[in-house]
Structure 1
Amino acid sequence: MSEHESPELIDLFTAYTAGPHSIGAHLRATAARAHARDPLLAVTGADMALYPGDGRPPTVLPYRLSNRGFKELAAVSHLGTALASLVELYHHEPGGQWRADAANLLHQVRRSRAANSTALWRDRIAAVSHRGREETIAAMVDYACAVTERYLVRALADPSCLNHPTLREEYLEDGHPDLPVSFNRIMVATFFLVGMDNAHRLIAWCDGQNIDWARTMVVVVGQIGRPTAGVTWRTNGVARCVLAASRNTLPLDRLYIAPHAQGFATPVGGDLSEVEALEPVLRQLWAGTRVTVELGGAMFEGYPAFSPGDGLPGHLGERTVTRADEVITEQPRIGSPKDWFALVTRLRLVMEDPRQLLSGAVTDYAAQQLIAHGNDPRAVTVPGLDDEPYPVYGSTSAAA
């Protein structure tokens, strides 16, 4: 104890809030026992575990490790950011690293284009949610590599084109005569495909568990995405998928996000011992948070109450964005798969808002569309992929 502290008042402090024998600790343990029979859904950055309650064994879905095509699609979606980063490198150091990085990226783009095929997506990657779209995905990837190669070849020969206005006009945005499909649309499509696959498997798994959502305790633990991201339910793609899987019947006040809480590693060989050992810790975390919330309502009845969201979860409090808006604070509502102003605005938002998951620009929209179409990926329109004028797969016209 520091010499400037009062032992008596420090003991008073610890009597309530610190240590395993404090009033707060006893209350958290009591609250956990009161919720012992409630289902607990714990989500980490890679896995989801359902603890049914009453000591029954958990069931685990490794939703990240089983996500087929995630890295391959991310590789394509990152090409836009990669070129923008090369522009920045050239701007800051014209004689620096940019040329070697551009040459390496060009090499990898050409290798990827040669490896890409309908058979790759259909027979090897074989994501269930992509069935029936493999040929279109291959055509999109071929085209994405071709237009990226074209820009890189030009930049290496004439670095003056390495500026953001040129990149936007000739690569990212709609309207250029030599660009049948803008790269902004490809970024939306790849993010959507990844989000749709995650949401499709998560929804199907949750449906198979017969979860009583009104009683379920949900806690998202650990880091998900970049260190500053996903710390609220609005910015956490997995949390929003869980809300969709519940058909928006999970009360928002039963979902807590604890980015610093302990999680569990993906079980190997069916060994659930670590997952099982963590159940009492997570139950006490959720119940201890809940009981403090309930204390606030009991102590200050008659005063305005806190609400974790404005509006129904299905709408997420979002509003339509227009070109008259100069600033937005949350992801805008997507009116349809062709609402390109809102879709591209979301791309900007997830880049600029450090709370956001970069891949979460359209994950919630994918989940909502799946719910609206009976969790059938074939019935969902993938913006940026379906009905876009991609050149026939393998054609040389894309790089002309």
Structure 2
Amino acid sequence: MYEDPQLVKLFTTYTRDAEAIGRHLGRSYAEHTRDAPLLVATGADFALYPGGGRPPVVEGYRLSPKGFKELTGVSHLGPAVASLVHLRTRLGDDVWRPDAERLLAEVSRSRTANSAELWRDLIQVEAFRGREHEIADMIDYTCVATARYLEKALADEEYLTAETLRDDYLDGGPVPINHMMVATFFLAGMDISFRIGRWLRSQNLDWSRTMVLIAGRQGRTTAGVTWNTSSVATMVLGTSGHQLPLERMYIAPHAPVFATPRDGDLSEVAALEHELRAIWCSTRATVELGELMFAGYPRYSPEGVRFPDVSDPAVTEVSEMPVVHSPEDMHSLVTRLRVVLEDPRQLLSGAVVDLAVAALAEADWDPAKVIVPGLTGVRYPSS
């Protein structure tokens, strides 16, 4: 393929080349904002670069916190059982049987390990304080219901169908498993939002100056790359009291990320500051060319998330997360569970994070005052 060297040189004068005009613009912008705080979120941690050459501080929010994996393991029972149904009825794969046997064994062991004392004395999630008995009862009930369903399916594989999955397991019983999934997703989101909210508030950030970058992969490969599909973006906006201008938060799925620091070693985090600031600043500098070049034409204005209303039975399809009218609005809440599965843009963890953040803010950041849908006021009967 022929390329004219002179015209290619013109191309690289503005872009690509290390000394291109666009690179100069980005570097100059970074120099003018070197004292501004930069908040970076990866798939597992937050890092705050205070600016002015001061060292970063890091707070984990996803995989490292106490209780996350234990609670999420229970949350995943619904999709796990549904996957067995899918393997047998849609794909005709006999692997469903050994998988069901393995899941049954793990459910039995988990039920034995679960107790209010485990959650109160060993796992000790601060945001769950006072709810340990409720959580233990919910997990016990879920393990019993799951075991019963799996035992029936293993005894008679014809029982393992989409109809029995919904009627006898997900929507059936004294408390539907769907309600448990809402509760566990909400609890996880409340815990993360409580901890990160407290940490961010302790930093005394000036949100009008703060630069926010959500870097790298968030959850599944296709998810969380827009403002209204990123639970991390929702959490930051809610924690700031919506003082952070939406236009100061960028989602950069291809940006480099640091590994979760170990033993207090922040060298890798610190080493990335220059590159991460350059990404934010070069993006912002280009955005500001719009007003310079096209004043008088309609400007772009970011808008918040719009939620469709599914309370009308005539509504059978949605393209965004539905609005939830109250903690008892299980139709909308379970619809959100369906949306995060079917919409590849959504983070599975994002089903109710916005609701958890809003509820915490309304309760003055006291998790004990928050109504947890699917848990508060719900009696999960024992076996």
Residue of structure 2 in register with 1:145 after alignment: 143
Shift of residue 318, structure 1, vs aligned partner:
2.0
Shift of residue 54, structure 1, vs aligned partner:
1.5
Q: Which amino acid aligns with 1:239?
A: A
Residue of structure 2 in register with 1:218 after alignment: 212
Q: Following superposition of structure 1 onto structure 2, how do residues 90-129 of structure 1 map, counting pairs within 5 Å? A: 90-92=88-90, 94=92, 96-129=94-127
Residue of structure 2 in register with 1:69 after alignment: 67
Residue of structure 2 in register with 1:313 after alignment: none
C-alpha distance in structure 2 between counterparts of 1:148 and 1:80, whole Å: 9
Shift of residue 274, structure 1, vs aligned partner:
1.7
So what's the TM-score if we normalise by structure 2? 0.97
Q: Which amino acid aligns with 1:335?
A: H
Shift of residue 319, structure 1, vs aligned partner:
3.5
Residue of structure 2 in register with 1:300 after alignment: 294
- Is structure 2 residue 308 aligned with structure 1 residue 319? yes
Q: Which amino acid aligns with 1:21?
A: E
Q: Following superposition of structure 1 onto structure 2, how do residues 197-216 of structure 1 map, counting pairs within 5 Å? A: 197-216=191-210
C-alpha distance in structure 1 between counterparts of 2:237 and 2:372, whole Å: 21
Q: Judging changes above 3 Å, is the alpha-carbon distance between structure 1 residues 23 and 93 closer, same or farther for their aligned structure 2 residues?
A: closer
Q: Which amino acid aligns with 1:238?
A: V
Q: Which amino acid aligns with 1:194?
A: A
Residue of structure 1 in register with 2:3 after alignment: 5
Q: Judging changes above 3 Å, is the alpha-carbon distance between structure 1 residues 95 and 46 closer, same or farther for their aligned structure 2 residues?
A: closer
Contact 1:43/1:221, CA 8 A, preserved across alignment: yes
Percent identity reads 54
Match of 2:48 among 35, 47, 50: 50
Residue of structure 2 in register with 1:86 after alignment: 84
- Is structure 2 residue 254 aligned with structure 1 residue 260? yes
C-alpha distance in structure 2 between counterparts of 1:219 and 1:284, whole Å: 11
C-alpha distance in structure 1 between counterparts of 2:97 and 2:64, whole Å: 36
Contact 1:110/1:149, CA 8 A, preserved across alignment: yes
C-alpha distance in structure 2 between counterparts of 1:113 and 1:246, whole Å: 39
Contact 2:308/2:318, CA 8 A, preserved across alignment: no
1:107-140 CA-to-partner distances (Å, cap 9, x unmatched) read 1111111111111111111111010000110000
Residue of structure 2 in register with 1:191 after alignment: 185
Q: Which amino acid aligns with 2:198?
A: A
Contact 2:182/2:334, CA 8 A, preserved across alignment: yes
C-alpha distance in structure 2 between counterparts of 1:317 and 1:208, whole Å: 30
Q: Which amino acid aligns with 1:324?
A: A
Shift of residue 64, structure 1, vs aligned partner:
2.3
Contact 1:67/1:197, CA 8 A, preserved across alignment: no
Shift of residue 237, structure 1, vs aligned partner:
0.8
Q: Mean alpha-carbon deviation: is it higher for 8-17 or for 89-98? A: 89-98
3-state SS in 1 of match to 2:223: coil
3-state SS in 2 of match to 1:41: strand
Q: Which amino acid aligns with 2:126?
A: V
How many aligned residue pairs are there? 382
- Is structure 2 residue 364 aligned with structure 1 residue 370? no
Q: Which amino acid aligns with 1:367?
A: V
Shift of residue 249, structure 1, vs aligned partner:
0.6
Shift of residue 297, structure 1, vs aligned partner:
2.1
C-alpha distance in structure 2 between counterparts of 1:246 and 1:227, whole Å: 27
C-alpha distance in structure 1 between counterparts of 2:192 and 2:111, whole Å: 25
